[in-house]
A and B are shown apart, each in its own frame.
Chain A
Amino acid sequence: MNIVMLAGFLAIAPPASVRGYDTPDDGGRSITLEWTLSPDDGVIERYEIYRSCNGVDYEKIGVMGRGRGLFEDDTEDRRQYYYKVAAVADTARAFSEPSAPVMSSAQWLNRKKINIIVAVAVFGGLILLFIQRARRGQKLFVRKIAGLQAIDDAVGRATEMGKPILYCPGIGYIEDIATIASLSILGEVAKKCGQYNTELINPHFDPIVYTVAREIVKESYASVGRPDAFDPDSVYYVTDSQFAYAAAVDGIMLRERPATNFLVGWFRAESLILAETGASTGAIQIAGTDQVSQLPFFVTACDYTLIGEELYAASAYISREPLLLGAIKGEDWGKVIIGAIIIAGSILGLLTAFPILRLFD
């Protein structure tokens, strides 16, 4: 046994070129250790990492499997450390030469994230620029969305038929962007209902959204000179249970038979239940959501659908709110920049040997 151990000890070659350095692009308290694998890497069990603060007394701080020559150590900043790595086979250990002393420190900038800093600066700057322009009164063009053009027709249809309009803002909360966009469109629809004296039914899932929507609808009626036409009972809270809300709205569709259904906001699985029931009653349906998983159901069962960002654009188009308009214009420029980078990157990547993909890492 001792002969085997001795033979084993003599047979194992230690790792070489142990080098420690301050882990780059981090907040400090970390040293990275690299070493050249032992020539006997294939037969050893593992590497053991030892550390000292004075170059004399070493303690074991970690273990690495064979075939791997990299280790990250948690340290205190501005304190010198020395490292040794031992190749281990059974009870035999072959130690490397100690590393040079190394200290860890924090960096101010993570150079690996420069592309993100540039992207945030460019996109954020564009959005802020366009918000400022909108606030100064500059006209910012946003094309009309197809679904919005249908609103007039839909409200007119309901008025001619003498039937109500159902507006369902989804099951989102007030902080959801889709819900905020939906409330802008609700205001527009409420104005038309006030103008044409069409009944509006507006059931709600969230109590806070309900209180905000009530004020919006009341103001909309007042803005077209018809405050008397506002029915407080037309905007009401139903329940905050997802499928109970869907069941309640389905009940309204089947009983009241609205001529037009608006399903605009944040939806989840109940979207298909609502859209299908509305379609079965023969109503015109205008839907809009930013939930990609629910869009297929709306596209299938509704006459017009505001897809994703079209919902925000519709809200910006209607409200002309500088914050919303500026965001849409900034995003548009962002899309142009993304498209240009993809095209330029493809040309460079196909025609030259430039490692274009590294720019994105």
Chain B
Amino acid sequence: MSGLADLFTLACVGVGVAFFAAGTVGLLRLPDTLTRIHALAKADNVGLAFIALGLLPQAASVLDGAKMVAVWLLAQLASGAVAQVMGQMANAAASGGAGPAPADAPGGGGAP
């Protein structure tokens, strides 16, 4: 039984890490902020879900397992909302780009 649980953990954690890697590849290769948010919000969260799932059999107690599920749920909700926040900001920047630039680097050379 313990061997089966360990195998389950190994498989799920492996898949989770793979999803994280895929999400990061997405972050690197996708062209702009809006598409990158997709990679972040979706792939990373599936990765976290798999990792949390895989760790459940290893939890020291039911309370710890419940906490892991709670952490995952919170991360899921929070990251969805954060994706909306960043997305709206990127949208506003794309459409309202005529506004003044944010704080520039010392020594000049600012954004248009």
A and B bound? no
**Which A residues fall within an 8 A CB radius of B?**
none
